[in-house]
Structures are given as C-alpha cells and as structure tokens.
Structure 1
Amino acid sequence: MSYHIYGIGNALVDKEFEVDDAFFADAGIEKGMMTLIEQDQLASMLDILQNRYGLKKRACGGSAANTIIGASYFGARTFYTCNVANDEAGDFYISDMKAAGVDTNMGDNRDEGVTGKCVVMVTPDAERTMNTYLGITSELHQKHIHEDALAQSEYVYIEGYLVTSDTSRAAAIQVRELARKHGVKVAMTFSDPAMVQFFKDGVSEMIGDGVDLLFCNEQEAMLYTGADSLPTAIDELKAVAQTFAVTLGSKGAVAWDGSQLHHIAPNNVKAVDSNGAGDMFAGAFLYAITHGHDFAAAGRLASLASATVVGQFGPRLDAEQHAPLKDVL
C-alpha cells in the first residue's frame, strides 16, 4: 500500500481577510456561504479587501487539499489529484503541497490558464464566508486521475465542491468507480450546505450506490436527507453511507461505525476563524482510522484538531502542531 489516502478536489489559492459584517451588506455578499464568482468580480473584490483590511494569510487550499495536508502532517502517506495552471499561483500551490509531504499529479507541464482563487472573509464571530473563482480547477478532468496511485491507496477522499462543474463531477465519479474496481474504500464530504441545497442531484450522482465513509455537518445532513431532526437524518444517512461522521459545531460530533453511534465530545475553544474546521476534522479522522484506531479514538483526535484550527487564524495548523494532538489517541 503506497498511500493511506488519495484525494481529489479543487485546487485554490486561499486569500484570507478579517472583515466586519458591514462589508457583506456593502458588497451584497451572503454571509456564511461559498459563492462562485467570475474573474473580474474577484479582481475588484481583492482590490477593495486589500485596501480596506489588508491580506491576513495566503495558502494553498481547497477543501480536500486542507484535509489531505492535515492527514499528511499527522503522518499519513497522501496523494492529491487537482488542476492548477502554469502561472505564479500554480507554482506556489505545488510547492506548498510538496512542503506538506503530499504527492500530486501536477508537474511542470501544466496547462495555460489561471489558477483558482478563494477569497475567505472571516468576521469577529469566527464565521467564514467564501467567494471562489474556480479558474482552471473547474477543468479538472478524468485525465488528471492517477490510477496507479489510487489503486495503491486505502481510501479515496472526494470533495463535494466538485459537483459544481460537469467535468469535475465526472472526474469524481470516475474516482469512485476506479476505487470500487481496485477494492479501495470511498470517503466523501458534502463540503458546504450550498452544495447539498443547490446541487443535490449531482451530489447523489457522486455518491452513486453509496460510500464507505461520509463527512458532513448537521445542516448538510438535514438538507440532504430532508429530515426535520438530527436522529432522523442519522437514520436516513445509513442508506447512503456504511459509516459517517456528522459535526455539530460547539456540540461536538457523532460518528456511526456501522454498528454503534459514538458521541464525540467538543473541545472548548475561543473561536477565532472557523475556516478549515470541517476539513481538519476529516483529515484527522482519516489519519486515525488508517492507523489502526477505532471511530471513538478517531473522533477524539478529529474534535481536538478541528477545535485547535478554529482557535487560530487560517484553515490549517502548522506542521509542528500535529504531533502533540495525537496524545488523545
């Protein structure tokens, strides 16, 4: 087995800003959601944000990328399939991935175009709002899949955001089918309430006849199942996922291991920035279950790791912050 986790997702250079609620009212932006924007909108928005607030942080991102990097820093062997352009942002992205110990399909022969960018706006209540210009990542194709690396993995991990592009969705479905062919387990995340709300048919298409492990938050679970209570949603999810974890914000999480529901205690933290919390939860959880730990232990690590992310600025932890967290295993 060459890899513990093979991920596929959008490749976006994240630019984080600390803003106030007034900014959303001025700019007509829906708070707390991920919204797709065009390149000209991105340019004017970045101009305003840089001048009004100043850039807080830049990092290679994308939901699944954050998950894969987190798992890598914990000690998992990882591979990431994505699409970045032959531009400065693409160079930055690939070098950031390599520095985190993640192997990728991207070399020096990348296509011309514009690497995707995500503007992450964090308010004083720690809520994150994202405006995303996908750029070349919306052209993530089946040709970018590295079947040999996938076949040599324990899990594939599919990002729900891929549902928004026809080619990316097709690539995600192809990854699921190749995983089945090679006996690799399939994990997936819903990524964002908007994906379930506005692209539900596409999300169902990506799930296909079911996944081995699903990650979602409480709102996404309710939206996808149409349930009016969490216990009902949990029962409904069993029809599409053999196992799953549902994050509940400050209430912790629940994890279904196929026979038992584990209640995962929260870790109290002063929230600074919720960006990346769900991504880190999945990364820590996947690291733990691919290293011999049960769902209860995986949940403890995932809960602590995501709380630690929320307690500081940016979607990920620094490399050296990961090892001490493993004490909870």
Structure 2
Amino acid sequence: MTAPLDLLVIGNAIVDVIARTDDAFLAAQKVAKGAMQLIDEPRAEELFQAMGPATIVSGGSGANTAVGAALLGARTGFIGKVRDDEPGHLFAHDLKATGVGFTVPPATDGPATARCFVLVTPDGERTMNTYLGACQGLSPADVDEAVVASARVVYLEGYLWDPPAAKEAFRKAVKIAHAAGNAVALTLSDAFCVGRYRDEFLGLIRDGSIDILFANIGELMSLYETEDADAAVQALRDERDARGRHLLGLVTRSAEGSLVVKGGEIRAVEASLVHEVVDTTGAGDLFAAGFLAGQARGLDYVTCAKLGSLAAAEVIQHIGARPQSDLVALAKKRGLL
C-alpha cells in the first residue's frame, strides 16, 4: 500500500543557476526584468557563458514548494522529469535529502535536465530564463495513480501547461485526485504564463478542476485582464465553478502581505518582517509551502497564510529558493505552531 501524503507536487524538475547582475546586463541580454522566458539549449549555453559567478542548486517552482512543506513537517512527494545526467542526479539528491519522495525514473536519452538561469539584480528582483530540456518529457505514464490518490492535496504548476505531454499528465492527476476525494491546487506561476493560457486556466477554475488557487497580485490581474488590483480580487471572490462552489484563493502582495479569498469573503493577512530583501526567487513557492503545510496540520486559513508569509520572508533574505533556517523553529517562535 502506498503511504499517504499530505502534499504531492507535480512540476518542472529544474536545476537553478543563480547569479547576481545589474539592469545593464539584462538590457544587453535583451531579457525582460522580473519575467520568466523559455529559451533553447544554444541560448542557455550563451547565457551561462555571459553570466558572472553562479550558485547551482536544485530548483523549480513546484519542487521549491515541496521542499518547503517537507521542512515544515508535511509528508510530501514530487513528480517531475530529469535526465540521467549530473544535473539530474543533483536534483534528485537534493529533493530526497530534504525528505521529499521522488521516484520518477530519469530519462536515459533525449534532452538534458532542465536549467533555469536566475539573474538577481541589486533590488532583489529575479529574472528567469528557462531551458526546459527533460522537463518536457513528463507524461501521463509518470503519474502514478496510487501516489496521486494517496495525497490529500495535489499541487500543480501553471508552467506545466507549456509542454503538451505534461499538460495531459496534469489532467490525469486532476481526475485521479478528485476521484479519491482529494483537493487540487494550482499556482498560476507567472504573469506571462497566464497571458499564454488565460482562457484555459479560467476553464480549469470554472469547470471545477481546481479547488485552491495560488497567485500573486500581478498574475491575478493578468488572469482577469485588468490593471485594477481590487477589481481582480473581487473577480476572484465572485468566481464559482459549474456546481456553484467558491474556490479557495490565496493572493500574495509582496510587502502588503496576502489575501485569503473564500466563500465570497476576503481576509487580509500582514506580511512577516523582512530585514533585507536579497533575492525574491521562490517567495511565492514558499508561501504556498507554508500555507499547505499549515493546512495539513489542521490550522485555520489565516494562520496558514501567516505560516506561508513566514516561509516566504525567510527565503527572500538570502540567495536561492530553498530555506536556510529551521522553519519549524521560526514558526514556533512566532506562535504559529
């Protein structure tokens, strides 16, 4: 029998290559500051050669969430695809070392393990250039029905909507999770990702595929095609699926904290104190990790959001999207656990 999970994440398995840079470098490389853009392998090599000294760690939005939740005590698994190469081995080792279950067999041929070149400017903003590589090989065959059915929450990356086979894996997981009576969460991932798939994401929300939605305010404004943040939040509040159900929405707003949107109500939650913003990579990922780990412990939504804010605050005060402090100890110190 498959051991039960609090959280199963399905996402892109990516190794992050992180370097400090400045706005002039971004302009010279013709990349949009603060965005994520997809690149091919030659461009990946070109960018790597142009970058300064880099920190190389396992990453990927969903994997960051899986690790954060595991470090907060949640029983967590991950489904994603790597190649049987050195970066793929690094990714698998890092996940397993933090207690995240990862059993998807690596690809033995085809593109190399995915890499994301993260350029961090002095203001802490991160600009991502992603070579998907082996990620695109994720398919429905990699989605183990027993593992999905065992998870109380299945969390899906919006970025998965780019590769067609991964999209089908996403749909398969939704059906299995709901058939088992479990919840499905979606993170919108990136405003540009929303721009590419707005109608499809709204379709997933409205046909009942999604029970929990994570978004930052920019992504939510993109989803509802408005420049008015309040209007976007009100639109989310009013959303109902085909059965008339409200979904649970979590909206992050950087230093302004977060919003819990549920049942036609909106609750504001203040941000955790941050002494210095060093690198915003992974802030949304760790907010989701904290929230879902709190939910697994049976905490109320507002306390879950506070736990998410705490995890996000920890990760933006250093380089890299994985926590460097004991999150459980921090949460206990703040009276959240």
**How high is the TM-score relative to the length of structure 1?**
0.94
Alpha carbons of structure 1 residues 228 and 40: separation in structure 2 relative to 1, 3 Å: closer
Aligned to 1:8: 10
Q: Which residue of the partner structure matches residue 314 of structure 2?
A: 308
* Residue in structure 2 matching 1:32, options 31, 34, 37: 34
Residue 231 in 1 paired to residue 237 in 2? no
Native 8 Å contact 1:119 1:130 kept in 2: yes
The one-letter amino acid paired with 1:191 is S
Structure 1 equivalent of residue 150 of structure 2: 152
Range that drifts further, 7-16 or 191-200 = 191-200
Q: Could you list the per-position Cα deviations for residues 217-256 of structure 1 after superposition, in whole angstroms to 9, with x for gaps in the alignment?
A: 0111111012443332223224155111100011111112
1:255 is the counterpart of 2:250: no
Q: Aligned partners of 1:2, 1:125: CA distance in 2, in Å?
A: 41
1:19 counterpart residue number: 21
Where 1:233 maps in the other structure, the secondary structure is helix
Quick check: 1:217–1:248 contact (8 Å CA) kept in 2? yes
Distance (Å, rounded) in 2 between the aligned partners of 1:195 and 1:305: 24
Q: Which residue of 2 aligns with 1:188?
A: 186
Partner SS state of residue 159, structure 2: helix
Aligned residue pairs, count: 323
Q: Which moved more, 1:29-38 or 1:241-250?
A: 241-250
Shifted more, 207-216 versus 144-153: the winner is 207-216
SS at match of 1:35: strand
Q: Structure 1: how far apart are the matches of 2:140 and 2:202?
A: 19
Distance, in Å, in 2 between the alignment partners of 1:168 and 1:162 is 6
Which of 74-83 and 249-258 deviates more? 249-258
Match of 1:286 in 2: 292
> What secondary structure does 1:266 align onto?
coil
**1:34-70 Cα deviation digits (max 9, x unpaired):** 0000001101110111xxx211x22111101000110
**How far 1:206 moved relative to its partner?**
4.5
Counterparts of 2:203 and 2:141 in 1: how far apart (Å)?
20
* CA deviation profile, 1:140-199 (whole Å, cap 9, x unmatched): 100110110111111000000011111111211211121111111011100011111122
**Change beyond 3 A, Cα 1:228–1:124:** closer
Contact kept? 2:310, 2:331, Cα under 8 Å: no
> Is the aligned partner of 1:266 residue 2:268?
no
Q: Contact 1:281–1:302 (CA<8 Å) still a contact in 2?
A: yes
Q: Secondary structure at the match of 2:109?
A: coil
Q: Tell me, in whole angstroms, the C-alpha distance in 1 between the residues paired with 2:145 and 2:273.
A: 41
Report matched runs for 1:176-215 at 5 Å: 176-207=174-205, 209-210=207-208, 211-215=210-214
CA distance in 1, matches of 2:42, 2:147: 37
Taking a change above 3 Å as real, the CA distance of residues 84 and 207 of structure 1, as seen in their structure-2 partners, is farther
Structure 2 gaps, min length 5: 241-245
- Partner of 1:103: helix, strand, or coil? coil
**Corresponding residue to 1:322 among 306, 310, 327:** 327
Q: Is the 8 A contact 1:173 1:205 kept in 2?
A: no
Moved more, 17-26 or 226-235: 226-235
Structure 2 CA distance for aligned equivalents of residues 54 and 200 of structure 1: 37
**Cα distance in 2 for residues equivalent to 1:35 and 1:205:** 24
> Quick one: distance in 1 between partners of 2:199 and 2:11?
19
Aligned counterparts of 1:207 and 1:112: Cα–Cα separation in 2 = 36
Give 1:139 shift: 1.6
Counterpart position of 1:45: 47
Corresponding residue number in structure 2 for 1:275: 281
The CA deviation at 1:205 is: 4.8
Task: State the Cα distance separating 1:110 from its structure 2 match.
Answer: 3.3
Quote the residue 2:173 is aligned against. 175
Offset at residue 105 of structure 1 (A): 3.0
AA aligned opposite 2:49? D
Taking structure 2 as the reference length, the TM-score comes to 0.92
Is there any run of 5+ residues in structure 1 with no aligned partner, and where? none
- Determine the structure 1 residue equivalent to 2:84: 86
Tell me: CA distance 1:215–1:27, structure 2 relative to 1, closer, same or farther (3 Å): same
Contact 1:272 1:312 in 2 (8 A): yes
Match in the other structure for 2:243: none
The correspondence of residues 92-171 of structure 1 with structure 2, limited to 5 A, is: 92-107=90-105, 110-113=107-110, 114-171=112-169
Give, in whole Å, the separation in 1 of the partners of 2:265 and 2:247: 12
The Cα RMSD (Å) is: 1.6
Contact 1:301 1:325 in 2 (8 A): no
